[in-house]
Structure 1
Amino acid sequence: MRTIITRLASCLMLLIMLAWQGVGRAAVVLEPGQSSRPITSDMQYLHDETRQQGLDDVLRLPGSAWQQNDSDSFSHGYTNDNWWLRFAVGNTGAQTSRLLVELAYPVLDEVEVWVLGSNNRVDAHYRLGDKQPFHERILQHRFFLIPLELPPAGEHMVVLRLKTTSSMQAPLTLWNERDYHERDQRVLLAEGLFFGGMGLMVLYSIFVFVALRDRLYFYYVLFVFSLLVFLASLKGLSFQFFWPQATQWNDRVLIVTLASMMASGGLFTIRFLRIREYMPRFFWLTLGLVVMTSLTVVLAFFMSYGQLMQPLIVTAALSCLVLLGGGVWRWRQGDRSARFYTIAWGSMLLGGVVLALNKFQLLPQNFLTENAMQMGVAAEVILLSLAIVDRINEERRQRFRAQQNILASERRAHEAQYKALVAEREANELLEQRVHERTEALQIANRKLEELSTSDQLTGLRNRRYLDRALQEECCRCQRYQHPLAVLLLDIDHFKRFNDEFGHDVGDECLRRVGAVLAMEMRTPIDHVARYGGEEFCVVMPETELEGARIVAERIRSAVESMRFTVGDRVVPVTVSIGVASMVPPDEDYSREMLKKADVMLYEAKAAGRNCVMTPGRSGNRA
């Protein structure tokens, strides 16, 4: 009997499904090469004010009961009613298609999803929403993701039931699964950079607060921290990474952080702009807003989200306007720091107003309106940091001027005593001048000693000590950034025979001439040229591939060969053999290996007949 009833129900559902498909729009399809497509304008919705209807109830309704959502956004403000959405997803390709439906609004309380197949069976049923622990989601993601697998020429109907105490929004997008995950990595990178940068500013301000013990920095830290947690919660990141099991706290964190942000912002403003001193009436207005928002933090643990969020958004917008007005007024009064403060709060206010208008359906839901607060926050945090720095500098200037005035008064009051101390002061100044001169002379001598210790006295080039240090530094840098590093090792051909035949004085002159050619041929200031030892020279060239290093080496070889070197009336040919090595260092301590590889190439160049350039995998190039 139960089997017969089940089959009858299936037939009835099939008829309803066919009727539904007849009144709806065509299925949403990703064309070849298309990674995503918005669903919002292709779906139908049903407003269930009774909050009692189930899936069977809404499927039995006639097509006229459903409304077509012709807008690019779906936003219906704050409501506790159920909202039903439906749309078809098709696959026109010849292969199975793996898709994702993204619902990019992570603060929805209840999201129930049914995926209906063409045979009227429920292929999948999911319960999502931020009232569920995070691990119960079908896909572990900050947004609500619905996986779909469509066979060739297949089609699914997707039905959603939404209920929330927050603003009713449903930004739905159909994605190719692979393209979505690739794009999501880039989004997470951008989010990480933003929150990481803001977090560093918070840590920096904490250290400054600990060092200076100034409450101004404490209010600033609390303000920025509340902002970051608010934005992270609004985007679903906090629920995913910090409290995936704490659903009750996740429901209240937006109210707590927004109210805390306004309260700490008000306290920061009172102290930063010295409101109590210069604007006493405005001080009481600002203090009243601080008390209201602080009370909201407490009420968040006893009242629902829907009861508090709407009045809190209004209060937050009013607070931004009041604080912005205070900044403008102090700016007009001549407070230099107020200019940064005013622009900062203006950026914050603009972002908050755009977000509030979006929540109240007065602006469409898109990337700009959804991220307006984040953009405003970045500008505000940077500008407030500049404002604090400017405020500190201004206080220093005021203290300096006050000290100058005090000193001037003391000089006038003690003029006689001052004259008696002139000689002693001049003696001290003379002593300080001499100490300063001696210090400068010592510094110059130290620099000369440092230069002598890293220079080869014969050729004027850098010596082996400098080379080892420079090569190690370049090896570390190129390994860190994965850039190529080239090393050239040069040896003057038959130099020992040259010394034996002409004497060491002529040999030294030959070394100087070759060194001069090397210095002239190195046209890039980041390259390092050094005498490696004896008749050997070394060139270190960062950011240089093997082919580029080979070209430079060949230029050096040709220049040395073309050099006119005479001993008496006799022209003596001078040539060099060059070994080249170039690679991205695999680790930071690879400098010795680089020299060994270049030395191996140098050995091969000499074995190949000298007066040539040898690179890995190439025969020597000889004039």
Structure 2
Amino acid sequence: MRLILFICLLFSCALQANTLNTKLNRYTQLVFDYSLVPSDSPEKIPVNTWQRVESGQVNLGLGNSPVWLKFKINNNTQMQQELFLFNAFVHIDKLTLYQKGNNLTQTQLTLGDSMPIKTRYLKDADQIFKLSLSPNTHYEYYIKAETAGVMKLNLSLWQHDKYIEKKAKFNLIMGLILGVMFASSLILSVLFLITKKQSFALAAVFNICVWFLFAWLLGYVYRYISDQSFWLIHTIIPALTIFVLVPLNILTERILGLHSLAKPHVACLRITLGISLALVVIAPFLSYTIALTVAVIFALIHVLILLLVTGIRAQKKDTKAQLLVVCILPLLITLLYKGALLFSYSIYFSQLMVVFGVSYLISCIALTLIAISQYIQQRDIKVSQQQKRLAEAEANEAIQSETIRLQELHQEELESKIQQRTFELEVTLRELQEKNLELEELNTLDALTGLRNRRHFDKKITMEFRRSRREQTPLAVVMLDIDHFKPINDEYGHLAGDEAIKYVAASIKGALRRPSDIACRYGGEEFALILPNTDSQGAKLVSETIRQNIAKHAIKTSSGDVKLTISAGIFSKVADASLDPNQYTDWADKALYSAKQQGRNRVLIADSTQSPKDPEEL
């Protein structure tokens, strides 16, 4: 009986600890009792299982079991007091507040990271209950706390204005720290886009991961990004705790150049890197409690390995290694604090956030400076190499210029001789070309008549045939022959025959008006005309003019006057794939033969719709 009375007295003293005799000016830590006995109702919990907390805070480490708290508040003043009940640790999944009255326990409010932010009195990451205390009234409360992570409770009563003032200052400091971290990430990202250096990208990834981790610790992910991110946080945070050291691991090897200096260190770092990546993949599939414990322990091991490797290099007066030590040491401090939270060591949360913020900020700034200094050093080395190459190039250029000057001195005399010899050769070539042109001209002229010869005719008919086919214009060929030329030779002699041929040639020349028309002596007393862009009627008009001019006048020769007539055959058609140049001559020749057969002294047009016939058939 005495034992029961003693326990009740002790319990009563605990409940009487939170007494307000005057208006609360700022805040006061809450004295409470807690119990780890699983129960649906606090009335069912044995009295002797309650444990008293005078400091207002308790850290129970990781655990999935709910914790019950109870406390009593006595408002002994004559005024209504509106207070905030504030839990400084923002990462409790669920807090349910009960008020006891009339022997009944009534639920007042439920909040936590697993609940939407709209359920909170203040739309903030902090977990706050609003309490309205009437004058001279005693209140008894219970809180049921549930979380899958660290069970840390730090309860205090705050006057409204003072809490808001304190929160504003805290947010300002934390906002500045986050802003600097984010600015450093942005600067590194821009430098990566400009320089394409992977060290900037890795440093930017590290800074962004640290920024996200710190924002989560402050509860800003819940407040500003998504209040429904409970499942995402439990999935990503353990993996991110491990992954944040991956870019730092890669950067350590690259910045210190360990691949060429310390093979065992490289092997150690790469093994740690491989395990880290494996755990990043596995962590989302583990329970939050296990994943968070494994993440913190392995991250601590990873940091110690990085610190050992960089410390060895730092002892050799390596400036980069010393800066890396400055970057890694704050991470070690934060992980030690996280380990203390996991294993139930009591740490005041506001102080913890300041430590975390300063540590993360130092790490981000140090790594940013390392990445920038490495780039500047590489740039200076590159500039030095470029200057060295430029100096070598200038020296080579000077040598080359002197060599060229000497060559030019010898070349001037050589060029003078070459120019003189070249001029002589050009004169000789020009004379040779002129002679060749004269010979070519003579080769295409008939010596007796001055007309083009058969060789020129064969060349030109092919050219005009192609033009007719290309431009789709008619091409006419006229074959002319002096009638009864053999009797003239026999009766008047060969000299008179030559004069008759020259007279016919002159008549043909006089009848052709266009530069494109070509008259040729085809052979003996036979002539051929090439009339481009001329149809059958046009060719007949030209041929008739020639025939009439010759038949109209007798030729005066040394042997007497000679009366001449000519016969002509015409073929005109647009060239196509079914024809060839020789067929024009054949058709015109067949038409000439028909003119001879029909009595001579006439012009006939070949019928292109029929195949040309042999003379015997005609």
CA contact (8 A) 1:38 1:172 kept: yes
Asked if 1:43 corresponds to 2:26, the answer is no
CA contact (8 A) 2:113 2:227 kept: no
Give the Cα–Cα distance (whole angstroms) in 1 for the partners of residues 10 and 98 of structure 2.
15
CA contact (8 A) 2:203 2:371 kept: no
CA contact (8 A) 1:230 1:257 kept: yes
CA contact (8 A) 2:66 2:144 kept: yes
For 1:114, the aligned partner's letter is Y
Question: Shift of residue 242 of structure 1?
Answer: 0.4
Give the Cα–Cα distance (whole angstroms) in 1 for the partners of residues 308 and 397 of structure 2.
48
Asked if 1:80 corresponds to 2:64, the answer is yes
Q: Deviations over 1:262-293 (max 9, x none)?
A: 22222232333233232222222222222222
Question: Shift of residue 389 of structure 1?
Answer: 2.0
CA contact (8 A) 1:79 1:165 kept: yes
Give the Cα–Cα distance (whole angstroms) in 2 for the partners of residues 86 and 421 of structure 1.
100
2:144 match: secondary structure: strand
Question: Shift of residue 106 of structure 1?
Answer: 1.9
CA contact (8 A) 1:130 1:251 kept: no
For 1:167, the aligned partner's letter is V
CA contact (8 A) 1:338 1:387 kept: no
The 5-angstrom pairing of residues 284-363 of structure 1 reads: 284-362=267-345
Q: Find the counterpart in structure 2 of residue 494 from structure 1.
A: none
Give the Cα–Cα distance (whole angstroms) in 2 for the partners of residues 253 and 160 of structure 1.
29
For 1:46, the aligned partner's letter is S
CA contact (8 A) 1:133 1:244 kept: yes
For 2:33, the aligned partner's letter is Q
CA contact (8 A) 2:334 2:355 kept: yes
Q: Find the counterpart in structure 2 of residue 91 from structure 1.
A: 75
Q: Find the counterpart in structure 2 of residue 185 from structure 1.
A: 168
Q: Deviations over 1:298-332 (max 9, x none)?
A: 22332211011112111111111111222223334
The 5-angstrom pairing of residues 437-476 of structure 1 reads: none
Aligned partner of 2:42 among 31, 55, 64: 55
The 5-angstrom pairing of residues 183-262 of structure 1 reads: 183-262=166-245
Give the Cα–Cα distance (whole angstroms) in 2 for the partners of residues 372 and 421 of structure 1.
71
Asked if 1:373 corresponds to 2:373, the answer is no
2:36 match: secondary structure: strand
Q: Find the counterpart in structure 1 of residue 259 from structure 2.
A: 276
Give the Cα–Cα distance (whole angstroms) in 1 for the partners of residues 404 and 28 of structure 2.
85
Q: Find the counterpart in structure 2 of residue 22 from structure 1.
A: 12
Give the Cα–Cα distance (whole angstroms) in 2 for the partners of residues 412 and 332 of structure 1.
42
Give the Cα–Cα distance (whole angstroms) in 2 for the partners of residues 243 and 281 of structure 1.
45
Give the Cα–Cα distance (whole angstroms) in 1 for the partners of residues 24 and 40 of structure 2.
40
Question: Shift of residue 404 of structure 1?
Answer: 4.9
Give the Cα–Cα distance (whole angstroms) in 2 for the partners of residues 80 and 96 of structure 1.
38
CA contact (8 A) 2:72 2:140 kept: yes
Aligned partner of 1:158 among 127, 130, 141: 141
Give the Cα–Cα distance (whole angstroms) in 2 for the partners of residues 317 and 131 of structure 1.
28
CA contact (8 A) 1:105 1:235 kept: no
Asked if 1:105 corresponds to 2:95, the answer is no
Distance 1:157 1:56, change over 3 A: same
Give the Cα–Cα distance (whole angstroms) in 2 for the partners of residues 204 and 191 of structure 1.
20
CA contact (8 A) 2:89 2:349 kept: no
Give the Cα–Cα distance (whole angstroms) in 2 for the partners of residues 71 and 286 of structure 1.
44
For 1:308, the aligned partner's letter is A
Give the Cα–Cα distance (whole angstroms) in 1 for the partners of residues 208 and 16 of structure 2.
47
For 1:37, the aligned partner's letter is T
CA contact (8 A) 2:59 2:346 kept: no
Question: Shift of residue 155 of structure 1?
Answer: 2.2
Q: Find the counterpart in structure 2 of residue 579 from structure 1.
A: none
Distance 1:123 1:81, change over 3 A: closer
CA contact (8 A) 1:351 1:375 kept: no
Give the Cα–Cα distance (whole angstroms) in 1 for the partners of residues 143 and 282 of structure 2.
32
Distance 1:32 1:135, change over 3 A: closer
Rg (Cα) greater in structure: 2
Give the Cα–Cα distance (whole angstroms) in 2 for the partners of residues 248 and 364 of structure 1.
26
Give the Cα–Cα distance (whole angstroms) in 1 for the partners of residues 382 and 364 of structure 2.
27
For 1:249, the aligned partner's letter is L
Structure 1 unpaired stretches of 5+? 1-16, 423-623
Give the Cα–Cα distance (whole angstroms) in 2 for the partners of residues 237 and 370 of structure 1.
13
Which sits farther off after the overlay, 264-273 or 147-156?
264-273
Give the Cα–Cα distance (whole angstroms) in 2 for the partners of residues 150 and 414 of structure 1.
93
Question: Shift of residue 261 of structure 1?
Answer: 0.7
1:102 match: secondary structure: strand
Question: Shift of residue 366 of structure 1?
Answer: 4.5
Question: Shift of residue 102 of structure 1?
Answer: 0.7
Distance 1:189 1:366, change over 3 A: closer
For 1:178, the aligned partner's letter is D
CA contact (8 A) 2:88 2:349 kept: no
For 1:85, the aligned partner's letter is L
Give the Cα–Cα distance (whole angstroms) in 1 for the partners of residues 387 and 319 of structure 2.
21
For 1:257, the aligned partner's letter is L
2:18 match: secondary structure: coil
Instruction: Report the number of matched residues.
Output: 399
Question: Shift of residue 32 of structure 1?
Answer: 3.6
For 2:99, the aligned partner's letter is V
CA contact (8 A) 2:35 2:67 kept: yes
TM-score by structure 1 length? 0.59
Q: Find the counterpart in structure 1 of residue 151 from structure 2.
A: 168
Q: Find the counterpart in structure 2 of residue 472 from structure 1.
A: none
Distance 1:338 1:281, change over 3 A: same
1:95 match: secondary structure: coil
Q: Find the counterpart in structure 2 of residue 34 from structure 1.
A: 25
For 1:225, the aligned partner's letter is I
Q: Find the counterpart in structure 1 of residue 376 from structure 2.
A: 393
Give the Cα–Cα distance (whole angstroms) in 2 for the partners of residues 21 and 421 of structure 1.
107
Aligned partner of 2:130 among 119, 132, 147: 147
CA contact (8 A) 2:95 2:145 kept: yes
CA contact (8 A) 1:133 1:247 kept: no
Question: Shift of residue 192 of structure 1?
Answer: 2.1
CA contact (8 A) 1:88 1:155 kept: yes
For 1:45, the aligned partner's letter is Y
CA contact (8 A) 1:126 1:138 kept: no
RMSD: 2.9
Q: Find the counterpart in structure 2 of residue 594 from structure 1.
A: none
CA contact (8 A) 2:42 2:68 kept: no
Percent of matched pairs sharing the same residue: 18
Question: Shift of residue 227 of structure 1?
Answer: 0.9
Give the Cα–Cα distance (whole angstroms) in 2 for the partners of residues 18 and 274 of structure 1.
69
CA contact (8 A) 1:78 1:166 kept: yes
Distance 1:154 1:72, change over 3 A: closer
Distance 1:155 1:21, change over 3 A: farther
1:315 match: secondary structure: helix
Give the Cα–Cα distance (whole angstroms) in 2 for the partners of residues 331 and 407 of structure 1.
35
Distance 1:357 1:247, change over 3 A: closer
1:75 match: secondary structure: strand
CA contact (8 A) 1:44 1:66 kept: yes
The 5-angstrom pairing of residues 425-574 of structure 1 reads: none
Q: Find the counterpart in structure 2 of residue 608 from structure 1.
A: none
For 2:125, the aligned partner's letter is R
Give the Cα–Cα distance (whole angstroms) in 2 for the partners of residues 336 and 408 of structure 1.
30
Distance 1:293 1:338, change over 3 A: same
1:390 match: secondary structure: helix
Question: Shift of residue 100 of structure 1?
Answer: 0.8
Give the Cα–Cα distance (whole angstroms) in 1 for the partners of residues 231 and 96 of structure 2.
19
